[in-house]
Amino acid sequence: MKSTLLGLIIALIGVLIGSFFKGVNPVLLITNIPAILIVIIGAIGATMASFEMAATSNVFKAIMKAIFPKPEVEPAERLRRIVDFATRARHEGILSLESDVAQLDDPFMKKALQLAIDGNDPDAVADVMRTEIRTLKARHKVAADWCMSLGIFAPTFGIIGAVIGLIATLGKLDKPEELGHGISGAFVATFWGVFLANGIMLPLSNKLKRMSTEEVHGREMVMEGVLAIQGGQNPRVIEETLLTYLPPAEAMALGSGRE
């Protein structure tokens, strides 16, 4: 099971079990549909009002990607590919890479190498790659900010739900036996508002930011490697440079393995 989904489930289970030992029936928390609707629909509506419709349409895809991430090319494997390309280009010329580049499953590396193979100016190649990276960062930031905004709005709508519940309860002062149940039910909305924020949306926002950082880091490594290949640098120098993009332990292991 993926770490994000596992973490969200653990958070929910921990809260429900903790509430049980505190004498609160977890069923009360998950069956108070009006409270849940006030928090979820209210927070989503307020968040939608804060962003363009396109952002809302795309954020659910980003959330699913965070919960169920697709396998990505490992940094060490990406480095190995670049060094292999650099070695071939050093001995056979950069045009010899064209057939292999067509088979790449990394769209960014494929595009960058193709631009270099086509004989474009290195500065133009760098500009194209930097623009793509900036666009990627901007797109990812919108999704992370959307989740964070919902996490900010949710507790407020939890308070609104509690107020509505208390108003309904105070309308039954002539039925004292129902007051306790009504008051406890009113605070369910507050619970879900706080949990939706801190147990779901803010962690998802952090995960999306982390995924964006890792993807940008990988693309920056590709950009530096491709520009070095285009500049005719020694493959060994390229390898040593790109090893700095890897965690120290992984870089040391990879470097030792090539000796």
Per DSSP, 106 falls in state: -
* Model pTM score: 0.84
The sign one gets for the Cα dihedral 236, 241, 246, 249 is: positive
What's the pLDDT score for residue 256? 56
Residues of the chain with pLDDT under 50: 1
What's the pLDDT score for residue 258? 54
Model pLDDT for residues 61-119, shown as the tens digit of each residue: 999 988 888 877 788 888 999 999 999 998 888 998 888 888 888 899 999 999 999 98
Angle at 228 between CA 209 and CA 219, to 5 degrees: 15
Residue with the two structure tokens 């500049």:
231
| Rounded Cα distance, 225 and 82, in Å | 6
What's the pLDDT score for residue 1? 46
What's the half-sphere exposure (Cβ side, CA atoms, 13 Å) at 33? 0
What's the pLDDT score for residue 217? 92
**Contacts of 87 by beta carbon, 8 Å cutoff, 6+ apart:** 235
- Answer for the pair 73, 245: CB distance below 8 angstroms, yes or no: no
Q: Is 255 helix (H, G, I), strand (E, B) or coil?
A: helix
What's the pLDDT score for residue 30? 83
